[in-house]
Amino acid sequence: MRELAGKTAFVTGGGSGIGFALGEAFAELGMKVMLADVEADPLAAAVTQLRNRGWAVHGITCDVADPASVERAARASFDTFGTVHVVCNNAGVAARGGIDDISLDNWRWVLDVNLMGVVHGIHAFLPHIRAHGEGGHFVNTASMAGLNSGLGFSPYSASKFAVVNISEGLAARLKPLGIGVSVLCPGFVRTRINESGRNRPERYGPASVPDPASPAGILRARLIELTQSGIDPVDVAAQVVSAIRDEELYVFTHPGPGWRAELEERFGAILAAMDKAASRGRP
């Protein structure tokens, strides 16, 4: 979608980090923006900050894990702006644990937000975008953790692999309708992702912090360090804008050799296994 000025964007997780930067970038381009977030106070502050710059920005509290909440947010966006063109299914949380002790609550919470949140966003907005016929674009936030298994056995990686897959499938189905899809796969970005527990609903039980001396605790400390030295969310948002304009499926904000090597290792292992199967005479 080349022309963004005058169009409308809906962004989940818009109160912080990458979501806020997306909202800011869209508003700066002359788009109308609906920020949606489960955390009311930071959301209100984000909306105020952008409105003070004279931009058409609104906010709505929304829990992406709850389909009814996403439907309500979608209706509020239609009521406020008429049509929505760009939908960023971006809200996400991280919760980890050791290989033996990732709680089932952690699995459910992370999959409900990171995976079902994306599904709910597509479900709530696709019929609308298809019906207005003005074109549109979905941006689904995955991660490099959705393309390689570097984090090990993890609900976060599992959710992000699913988001990559959903986006690839959706892109193929929506292309003939003139609706674009991008999947955002960042490495480390300087945000509050490591404080995800601030939004953990009680229904998923208490958050557990791993023993700092355990392998899970050491990994957690390392991930916090890497995130704090990550890139600015503003850089990520600029690349997303380009991807929407150029109709690019994959958005890689960290194409450096380390990340590339991890992908090569994974895809190399998959292709080597296929070669081995072929050498055994499999069809």
Ligand X SMILES: NC(=O)c1ccc[n+]([C@@H]2O[C@H](COP(=O)([O-])OP(=O)(O)OC[C@H]3O[C@@H](n4cnc5c(N)ncnc54)[C@H](O)[C@@H]3O)[C@@H](O)[C@H]2O)c1
Which residues does the annotation mark as catalytic? 156
The least distance separating ligand X from the CB of residue 244, rounded to whole angstroms, comes to 17
Sole binder of ligand X in the list 8, 12, 154, 239 (CB under 6 A) = 12
For ligand X, the closer of residues 138 and 188 by Cβ is 188
Q: Which of residues 263-282 bind ligand X (CB under 6 A)?
A: none
Instruction: Say whether residue 93 binds ligand X (CB under 6 A).
Output: yes
Spatial strand order of the sheet with 250-252 comes to: 57-61, 32-37, 8-12, 86-89, 136-141, 179-185, 250-252
Q: Are 35 and 20 in contact (CB under 8 A)?
A: yes
Q: Are 210 and 216 in contact (CB under 8 A)?
A: yes
The least distance separating ligand X from the CB of residue 275, rounded to whole angstroms, comes to 32
Per-residue interface string for the shown chain with ligand X, residues 33-72, x marking contact by CB under 6 A: ----xxx----------------------xxxx-------
The least distance separating ligand X from the CB of residue 155, rounded to whole angstroms, comes to 11
Sole binder of ligand X in the list 189, 216, 243, 244 (CB under 6 A) = 189
Instruction: Say whether residue 254 binds ligand X (CB under 6 A).
Output: no
For ligand X, the closer of residues 134 and 232 by Cβ is 232
Angstrom distances, CA of residue 282 to CA of 266, 269, 276: 22, 18, 9
Instruction: Say whether residue 192 binds ligand X (CB under 6 A).
Output: yes
Sole binder of ligand X in the list 11, 13, 32, 240 (CB under 6 A) = 13
Strands (E), the chain: 8-12, 32-37, 57-61, 86-89, 136-141, 179-185, 250-252
Instruction: Say whether residue 92 binds ligand X (CB under 6 A).
Output: yes
DSSP 100: T
Q: Which two tokens stand for residue 234?
A: 């503003």
Sole binder of ligand X in the list 4, 9, 11, 18 (CB under 6 A) = 18
Q: Which two tokens stand for residue 225?
A: 């360090």
For ligand X, the closer of residues 106 and 191 by Cβ is 191
Closest among 237, 149, 154 to 191, alpha carbons compared: 237
DSSP 170: H
Per-residue interface string for the shown chain with ligand X, residues 119-138, x marking contact by CB under 6 A: --------------------
Q: Distance between CA 274 and CA 267 in Å, rounded?
A: 11
Instruction: Say whether residue 158 binds ligand X (CB under 6 A).
Output: no
Conformation bin of residue 176: beta by default, left when phi > 0, alpha when psi is -120 to 50? alpha
Sole binder of ligand X in the list 188, 204, 252, 259 (CB under 6 A) = 188
Q: Distance between CA 46 and CA 11 in Å, rounded?
A: 12
Sole binder of ligand X in the list 19, 23, 97, 210 (CB under 6 A) = 19
Phi, psi (rounded to 5 degrees) for 143: 180, 165
Instruction: Say whether residue 216 binds ligand X (CB under 6 A).
Output: no
Phi, psi (rounded to 5 degrees) for 216: -65, -35
Residues engaged in binding ligand X (CB under 6 A) = 12-13, 15-19, 37-39, 62-65, 90-93, 113-114, 141, 143, 186, 188-189, 191-193, 196, 199, 227, 230
